[in-house]
């Protein structure tokens, strides 16, 4: 593959799975991650390959982004502060990294004439408590968390940049992703409890709750299809 790709948040749960797939497929991959939640260990094998390089840093650093984006063909933007509850007490946690960080990515792309961005949005938060299930892409944004608001804002900025600067942009609104190497969340707890005791399982609520889940390999495949589109 001749394309050079920058993956922000490439040591996180989704990002690391994506990086490992891209490297295995022969893409030239540059990873940017501040390692605040991601782990270098997740992409250890990929870093042993010639076509993968990690830079430890943040998307809040515009000058760093401008250097990293020289010669890049596509940005896959995964980096974000994902803790919905933390942003309740400090909304700037989401705004500084998610919104301003995304603006930095877009500004650096503009300076380096990078033509395409794939953005990891959040279908689980931008729509709020919609009653339309399954939720179509035409459903209006109605976030009820600062995190959801930040993702919606990022999408809108990306859309405006796309229009003003001839940028190809794809936003992927994922639901709840599960799979390795994640070791938390409802699905992880569900399987772990069954593994410990296959004869018993705690049911929360009335047992009729419905929630959308997507396995990590399908999430990665969505990125790959977007990359090739």
* pLDDT score of 143: 87
Is pTM beyond 0.75 here?
Answer: yes
How far apart CA 133 and CA 127 sit, in angstroms, is: 11
Q: Which two tokens stand for residue 212?
A: 């959308």
Choices 3.30.1130.10, 1.10.3720.10, 3.40.50.300, 3.40.50.720: CATH for 4-178+214-228: 3.40.50.720
Alpha carbon distances (Å) from 31 to 44, 50, 59, 73, 182: 12, 13, 11, 14, 19
pLDDT above 60 (res 1): no
42 carries an active-site annotation: no
120 contacts 78 by C-beta, under 8 angstroms: yes
Tell which phi-psi region holds residue 9, choosing left (phi > 0), alpha (psi between -120 and 50) or beta.
Answer: left
* pLDDT score of 16: 98
pLDDT above 90 (res 24): yes
For the chain, give every domain's residue range.
4-178+214-228
* pLDDT score of 89: 81
Entry field: residues in the chain: 229
* pLDDT score of 220: 98
The one catalytic residue in 42, 127, 147, 215 is 147
* pLDDT score of 99: 96
């Amino acid at each position: 593959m001749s394309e050079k790709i920058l993956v922000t948040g490439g040591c996180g749960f989704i990002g690391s799975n994506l990086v490992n797939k891209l490297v295995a497929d022969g893409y030239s991959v540059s990873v940017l991650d501040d390692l605040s939640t991601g782990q270098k260990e997740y992409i250890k094998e990929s870093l042993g390959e010639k076509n993968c390089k990690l830079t430890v840093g943040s998307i809040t650093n515009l000058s760093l982004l401008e250097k990293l984006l020289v010669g890049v063909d596509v940005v896959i933007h995964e980096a974000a502060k994902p803790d919905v509850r933390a942003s309740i007490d400090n909304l700037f946690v989401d705004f500084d990294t998610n919104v301003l960080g995304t603006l930095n990515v877009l500004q650096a792309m503009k300076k380096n004439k990078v033509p395409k961005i794939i953005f990891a949005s959040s279908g689980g938060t931008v729509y709020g408590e919609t009653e339309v299930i399954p939720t179509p892409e035409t459903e209006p944004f109605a976030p009820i968390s600062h995190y959801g608001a930040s993702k919606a804002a990022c999408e809108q900025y990306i859309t405006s940049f796309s229009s003003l600067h001839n940028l190809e942009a794809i936003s992927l609104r994922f639901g709840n992703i599960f799979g390795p190497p994640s070791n938390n969340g409802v699905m992880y707890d569900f399987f772990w409890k069954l593994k410990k005791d296959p004869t018993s399982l705690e049911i929360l609520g009335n047992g009729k709750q419905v929630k959308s889940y997507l396995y990590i390999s399908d999430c990665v495949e969505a990125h790959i299809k977007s990359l090739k589109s």
